[in-house]
Chains A and B, each alone.
Chain A
Amino acid sequence: MIGTDLLGIEDLERSDLERILETAQHMQEVGTRQIKKVPTLRGRTIVNLFFEPSTRTRTSFEIAGKRLSADVVNFSTSNSSLKKSEGILDTAKTIDAMDPDAVIVRHGVAGVPRQIADVLDAPVINAGDGWHEHPTQALLDLLTVLEKKGRVDGLTVTIVGDVLHSRVARSNVYGFLKMGAEVRLAAPPTMIPPAVESLGVKAGSSLREALDGADVVMVLRIQQERLAGAFIPSIREYAATFGLDRAKLRYAKDDAIVMHPGPVNRGVELAHDLADHRPGVILDQVRNGVAVRMAVLYLLAGRRSPEREG
């Protein structure tokens, strides 16, 4: 795999993605055992360094690490010295001095995981940085599509929602394109990033057009803050125009699956019905998240950058 960190999907080759996904498929099997634990990372230390709150992703990484028998330590800002104004890099270096085998970083500002990776010996895994990337989310989404559809090549994937502010969307665009899918974006005009089509996707504000013949519909969370920023006139209008329900889903293929990174605003971007029943696959995504994170930890934990080997 390229390097010893996982900072984004943009830096990866298709063969890297395939390697991670193949490894994750084997990790899925571990999750079916009675004893869901293997000794692979026994005695290794994994640090969750979350500068932004997150229960789901952090818990998923924690379970992944524990299934590999690693010791997982959670470091979140609410009970940290960051309140005492210790800078990000000082915090990271302090943790590095305790010799972790992997550090998982989430931060509200894009680029922070890379900055941390540059000063750490330990491998760094990006768990979400600002609006930039969330690579393990894209990987679990790819794994879920592989599981449900048998392939990614040639599929049409439509991403609906606040693409502008979504690191999930960005990582998925990179990931699905590299794996051979056609990717379309549907969002209110205020939420489509400028020049996004240069990435190789089609973008527009007609949900119907974007859904036409889609194999996979990925719905993004709409955040209340966007109202205040005047990106959308009201939640109700957003739900009426872009909220996905069975009626709108009919524009997609009959066997299309529906995905959402969670947590769902029920009745807003996604109807209750689709959140809870097929073809929604949200809980499969969550399960695959653990498998993907186990795969990433298996491939990276304990490896040091060659230049910095003492």
Chain B
Amino acid sequence: MILDDRAIRRTLMRIAHEVVEANADLAGLYLVAIPNGGVPLARQIARNLHEIADVNVVIGILDTTLYRDDLISNAERPPLRRTEMPSAVDDHAVVLVDDVASTRRTIRAAMDALMDFGRPKSVQVMALVDRGHRELPISLDYVGKNIPTHAEDHVILRGVARGGLDGPLEVVVVSAGGEDPT
């Protein structure tokens, strides 16, 4: 286990302060969570921003599955997840929120999906964990923790309930050959 619930909460508070520092227009921020892991994280960031700076930012959820670059093979198609974009992204500064960043392919897919929803003023990216093995030239604006891993390992944010209720979260590394808890 790499990060327990308290460590995650402290990290998200620190990131919220970084967001405040980097964005003059906080009210115009639009947090776009990449399900499933990004959802509770985005909600907590929004709560933190409200606490620190008294702003209510918009939160959307954007599933990237239909934009993936690895779908057409003979493997089973992955299940789709919820997308809920409550308002247009045009002229907003969007912050994509994901739990674990690695190859950057998910972030690439998220940006393509986002562009089909409109024209954001800017796009920033936040990940709770960067586990390395970058394959595309995309950098992260906000990172919770850098965790070096083997390529075959899995890094998982556990405790994300499907119903969206935020239970205690933790980040675990599952080594190749170990049991995948999801």
Q: Measuring CB to CB, which residues of chain A are less than 8 angstroms from any residue of chain B?
A: 1, 19, 22-23, 26-27, 29-30, 33-35, 37-41, 44, 68, 101, 298-299, 301-304, 306, 309
Contact = CB atoms under 8 A, between A and B. Distances in A.
Interface of B: 63, 66-67, 71-72, 74, 76-77, 79-84, 112-113, 116-118
Contact of A29 (B83, B112, B116): B83
5 contacts: A22-B79, A30-B66, A35-B116, A38-B116, A39-B112
The DSSP consensus for interface residues of chain A is loop
A27 B77 CA distance: 14
The DSSP consensus for interface residues of chain B is loop
Nearest to A303: B74
Given A38-B67, A40-B66, A309 B81 contact: no
Contacts of B117: 33-35
A19 B77 CA distance: 11
Contacts of B112: 39
A40 B77 CA distance: 11
B113 to A, nearest CB: 8
Nearest to A1: B76
B34 to A, nearest CB: 15
B71 A309 contact: no
B66 A38 contact: yes
B1 to A, nearest CB: 32
Please name the 4 residue pairs, one residue from A and one from B, whose CB atoms are nearest each other, closest first: A26-B80, A38-B66, A302-B72, A40-B66
A23 B63 CA distance: 13
A298 B68 CA distance: 12
Contacts of A30: 66
Contacts of A44: 72
Contacts of A41: 72
A33 B88 CA distance: 10
A37 B66 CA distance: 10
A23 B113 CA distance: 18
Nearest to B113: A38
Given A33-B116, A37-B116, A38-B116, A26 B74 contact: no
Contacts of A34: 117-118
Contacts of B118: 34
Contacts of A40: 66-67, 71
Contact of B63 (A26, A33, A301, A309): A26
Nearest to B88: A34
Given A34-B117, A299-B77, A306-B74, 18 more contacts: A19-B79, A23-B80, A26-B63, A26-B81, A26-B82, A29-B82, A33-B116, A34-B118, A35-B116, A35-B117, A37-B116, A38-B66, A39-B67, A40-B67, A41-B72, A44-B72, A298-B66, A309-B74
Contact of A304 (B71, B74, B84): B74
Contacts of A306: 74
Nearest to B117: A33
A277 to B, nearest CB: 30
A23 B78 CA distance: 10
A44 B72 CA distance: 9
A26 B83 contact: yes
B66 to A, nearest CB: 4
Nearest to B116: A35
A84 B80 CA distance: 45
A304 B73 CA distance: 9
Nearest to A302: B72
B72 A39 contact: no
